[in-house]
Every structure is written in structure tokens, then in C-alpha cells.
Amino acid sequence: MRLEGKSAIVTGAGSGIGKATACRFAAEGATVICAELNRDSNEATVAEIRAAGGRAEAVETDVTRDEDVANLMARSFSAVERVDILINNAGQAVIGTVEEVSSDDWDRQLDVNLKSIYRLSKAIWPHFKTRGGGIILNTASIAGLTGIPGQVSYGVSKAGAVMITKCMALDGAKDNIRVNCVCPGWIPTPMVDYHLSQLDDPEAFQTRIERLHPLGLGEAAHIAAGFVFLASDEARWITGIALPIDGGLTCGIAAD
């Protein structure tokens, strides 16, 4: 097992990529602290991990609240001797152009998707420095690498996730703190289901999206596999990258 003896905090662990990552990390031997705003879905993830023989704890967390992040850190350090890995995965999608997105939705989008990375990384940074290093992994998106119509606030938040990854990687290198992010393509998750529900013709959009991925649509497990690699000793000389895991979408224009 590639993460035996390690411990990890995973935010947004109640569904989608976060759940797949929490379950995969536990299967690889890590103790997982599952952080999620939805208590029921978070506890369901922990129950699934434990039923499979893994080790996990649930901490109800709103990543936009400093007090919740402080509680998460305190509960994590109480549950395990040390935290080795932080995965900033919590996120949401606001659909709309700059004309359509409200000021409140804009602020909420950036708070959940981007400022939470700052908030949790800042909270754990002294712990990593004290123990001689650590790993921070962020969920960005292909929307942070290329513009997508109707996703202005989401795209900006994910572009910010890419850049904060690079800046923190430079800042953390001297203390052996590695920071990387993954940029998923179109992965079927509850957040994507919500996106589709907001469209006039979701079936046509789904068909178009499928054609943009040369290898077809992926699964949350594919993203979890990328996180496992970046968290493993095999990636010990990798920091500051934005890794597309997108079935070839960002290669260029796919053939029909």
C-alpha cells in the first residue's frame, strides 16, 4: 500500500471526487480525516471506509469559516499523531456570465473554491514546518486552464487554485512542503448534475462534452488515482504542477 502509515485531511469528502479520494487513500493505508459540510454524507463516507477495513474520522466542516477550520485541525491532531497530507477539494459551481452572476454568488464562489485553500493551508502550515514537511494537494479544474463560456466565477476561482498552488510550492520548498493541484475534466459528480439541471438542453450539452474528451468521460476514481500518485513517495521531486486529468481534453480539438 502506497500510503501506509500516513494520515490525510480531505475536504468535500461527502461526495464526488472528495469521497472517491478519501476511500482510495484509506485503501492505500492512510488514516483519513473526512471534512464535509453535509454531516450525513460525510458520515456515510466514513462508514464505507470502515466497512472496507480502513481508518477514518468525520469532522463536520464549513471551509469558509475560520472557527470550523480551527476545529478541524484540532480534531485531526487529536485523532492522529501527525497529519501528512491536506487535500483541498471542497468546491461548488456557480453558473453564469459576468452579467448574470450576482455579487453574493461571486463572493461565495471564490470563498469556497479559492479562499478555503488559503484558509486551510495557512492553518496547517506551521504543523508541516515543525515536523519537517508535508503535502498539500488542491482540486483545480480544466476551467482554470482555459476559458469556458458561462463559467466566469468558477473559472476564475479555479485559475486562482492553480496560481496559489504554484506560489505555495515556491514558498514551501525550503521546508519540504510540496504543493500540487489536479485539473479534472468533466467528471460525473453531484456538482456536475447540478450544472446540467440549470441548462435548457442538458442532453445536448452532455453529448457535446463527451465529444470534447478523446478518451471519453472519466470517473472520480481517475482523479483520486492522480492524488494518490502526487501524495506518494514516487512524486517526492514534484511540486508546483497543475496536472490535467481530463481524457485528453486540453490536448486540442477532438475529432468527431
CATH number for 68: 3.40.50.720
**The predicted structure's pLDDT at residue 204:** 73
- Position 191 scores a pLDDT of 72
Residue 255 lies in a domain: no
pLDDT digits (tens, 9 = 90+) for 69-82: 999 999 999 999 99
Identity of the residue numbered 111: D
Residue 245 grid cell:
486529468
Asked whether residue 252 is assigned to any structural domain, the reply reads no
Whether the pLDDT of residue 164 is over 90: the answer is yes
Q: Is residue 251 part of a domain?
A: no
Identify which of 11, 42, 60, 49 has the alpha carbon closest to the alpha carbon of residue 27.
49
Cell matching residue 65: 469559516
In a domain, 82, yes or no: yes
Kindly report the pTM of this predicted structure.
0.94
> Using 50, 70 and 90 to split pLDDT, how confident is the model at 217?
confident
Q: CB-based burial of residue 124 (10 Å sphere; 0-12 exposed, 13-18 middle, 19+ buried)?
A: buried
Q: Would residue 188 count as lying in a domain?
A: yes
Give the total number of structural domains in the chain.
Answer: 1
Parent domain of 73: 7-244
Q: Would 249 be classed as within a structural domain?
A: no
Residue 145 forms part of a structural domain: yes
Q: Is residue 31 part of a domain?
A: yes
Range of lowest pLDDT (24-28, 29-33, 108-112, 206-210): 206-210
Q: 125, 154, 186, 227: which is the annotated catalytic residue?
A: 154
CB 111 within 8 A of CB 64: yes
Question: Strands 85-88 and 55-60: what pairing?
Answer: unpaired
194 noted as active-site residue: no
